[in-house]
């Protein structure tokens, strides 16, 4: 009897394995049937094999460069398999416009790892919601990023930058080298704590603070490279039910719990009148709960405050680190920007409107994000129905991706694309252009773009007003590396800062 049971189980297992392998074979035929090129996939992990091998060879993840090289080989369409999932990467501006704007209704859903469905917080975030649900949430949150609200939040941002500059001055006076990227990360987290939840965190002066430690820990565990569970759910979706069983015991779930609990406590205190009147995202969303039909629920308010944390913390700090390095590397650009800063300071002083009106600062902002766009792998959509775009057929279920770096480095879009030339944006007409997409493209572009721009520009203006930036000759040249969906400096960003007289 036991022999029969064991034999039956063994045969069933082998049969299921053969079925899965056959399914993989069918999935791997889709790219060829579409007439799109790409590297040969491994029968289990797809083209992750090439990415892993390249990382072992050079010591870090440069998948943005890897994809750029594939476009040079295979043309404007490249098919990449992540496990069995086919991602079609596009770089042509006409294709991007057709897919992400004109035919948006057929490409409205983002690609989300199956395991994230177990997290109500993550699966319901503004940037990860499905179908038309994102429209209602976006319509509720968009007014909180109006120009008027940005002016009001600017004072809170300035106060955190004051603390940042005081810390930088102390480090400069000490004469020791320091990693300004690390300080930018603390700054942006303190800014988000203040402007999203009215939390007076002090990560800049205390890296052991609870909010800082919890946020860093959670973000680390959302990185696909550091989570076997997330990677497995992506590569082997056939076993999603098994991965979901393990989710509750994962570091992702465990690190999420204290942050959610803290946000819920802040929410309840605010609902009961404590701290009301503050100008922050949580307050503005709570106000809408009672004044707008079909407003967001408590869970949705918390989810979207959390989305603000995820979307705005590492991206802005990374963008600031890259820009600071570029200014230290290009002294003429730094001097030209400094001259504009001093002119505006003498005539108007620094406030939201005067900083927003600096033309060369805006050019530096745009060019820095063109050369080093922080977000690498997030502008991905699912094809909801069979469709033909500019003569290319896309079957239902295919994922379509646009990598900002590849678009920004395309010589057809930008002459001398690899060079840092802010002047290219001084007379640039961006209306309808899809050549610059660091904040995404189409109706689901980053809703917090204005806030990120305001924080970025204010920090750069205040820093350059106080310090001159230079490279250390003995420090390694900046090398971008992928960190999940984020492109960040591979090494610490140590620069020589000199106080201006």
Is 446 labelled a binding residue?
A: yes
The residue ranges of DSSP E strands in 130-274, in sequence order, are none
The residue ranges of DSSP E strands in 40-137, in sequence order, are 77-82, 85-90
**Which letter does DSSP use for residue 114 in this model?**
G
Cα–Cα distances (Å) from 40 to 49, 58, 82, 190, in that order, read 10, 21, 12, 45
C-alpha 253 chain-centroid distance: 21
Please count the other Cβ atoms lying within 10 Å of the Cβ belonging to residue 224. Answer: 18
Residue corresponding to tokens 């942050």: 259
Label each residue of 146-185 as H, E or C: CHHHHHHHHHHHHHHHHHHHHHHHHHHHHCCCCEHHHHHH
DSSP 322-375: HHHHHHHH-HHHHHHHHHHHHHHHHHT-SSHHHHHT-HHHHHHHHHHHHHS-SB
- Yes or no: say if 478 and 451 are a contact pair by the CB < 8 Å rule: no
CA angle 219, 225, 231 (to 5 degrees): 105
Binding residues: 446
Binding residues for heme: 446
């Amino acid at each position: 009897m036991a022999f029969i049971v064991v034999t039956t189980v063994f045969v069933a297992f082998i049969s299921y394995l053969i079925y899965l392998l056959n399914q993989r074979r069918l999935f791997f035929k889709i790219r060829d049937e579409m007439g799109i090129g790409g590297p040969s996939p491994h029968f289990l992990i797809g083209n992750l094999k090439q990415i892993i091998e390249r990382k072992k060879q050079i010591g870090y993840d440069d998948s943005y460069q890897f994809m750029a090289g594939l476009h040079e080989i295979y043309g404007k369409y490249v098919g990449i398999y992540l496990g069995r999932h086919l991602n079609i990467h596009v770089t042509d501006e006409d294709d991007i416009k057709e897919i992400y704007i004109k035919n948006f209704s057929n490409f409205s859903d983002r690609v989300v790892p199956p395991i994230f469905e177990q997290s109500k917080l993550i699966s319901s975030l503004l940037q990860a919601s499905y179908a038309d649900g994102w429209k209602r949430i976006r319509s509720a949150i968009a007014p909180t990023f109006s120009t008027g609200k940005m002016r009001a939040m600017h004072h809170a941002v300035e106060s955190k930058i004051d603390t940042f500059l005081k810390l930088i001055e102390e480090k400069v006076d000490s004469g020791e080298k320091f990693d300004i990227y690390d300080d930018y990360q603390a700054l942006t987290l303190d800014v988000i704590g203040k402007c999203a939840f009215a939390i007076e965190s002090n990560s800049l002066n205390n890296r052991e603070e609870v909010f800082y430690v919890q946020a860093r820990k959670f973000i680390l565990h959302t990185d696909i490279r550091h989570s076997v569970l997330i990677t497995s759910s992506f590569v082997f979706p056939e076993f999603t039910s098994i991965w979901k069983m393990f989710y509750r015991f994962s570091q992702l779930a465990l690190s999420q719990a204290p942050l959610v609990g803290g946000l819920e406590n802040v929410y309840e205190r605010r609902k009961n009148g404590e701290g009301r009147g503050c100008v922050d995202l949580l307050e503005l969303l709570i106000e809408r709960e009672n004044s707008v039909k079909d407003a967001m629920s408590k869970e949705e308010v918390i989810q979207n405050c959390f989305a603000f944390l995820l979307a705005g913390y590492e991206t802005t700090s990374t963008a600031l680190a890259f820009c600071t390095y570029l200014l230290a590397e290009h002294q003429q650009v730094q001097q030209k920007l400094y001259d504009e800063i001093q002119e505006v300071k003498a005539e108007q002083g620094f406030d939201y409107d005067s900083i927003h009106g600096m033309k060369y600062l805006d050019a530096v902002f745009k060019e820095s994000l063109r050369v080093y766009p922080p977000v690498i792998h997030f502008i991905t959509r699912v094809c909801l129905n069979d469709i033909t775009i500019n003569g290319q057929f896309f079957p239902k279920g295919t994922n379509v991706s646009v990598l900002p770096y590849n678009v920004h480095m395309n010589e057809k879009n930008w002459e001398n694309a690899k060079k840092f030339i802010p002047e290219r944006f001084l007379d640039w007409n961006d209306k309808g252009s899809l050549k610059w997409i660091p904040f995404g493209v189409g109706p689901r572009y980053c809703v917090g773009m204005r806030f990120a721009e305001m924080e970025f520009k204010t920090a750069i203006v205040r820093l350059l007003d106080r310090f001159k930036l230079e490279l250390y000759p003995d420090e390694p040249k900046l090398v971008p590396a992928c960190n999940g969906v984020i492109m960040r400096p591979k090494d610490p960003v140590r620069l020589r800062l000199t106080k201006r007289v």
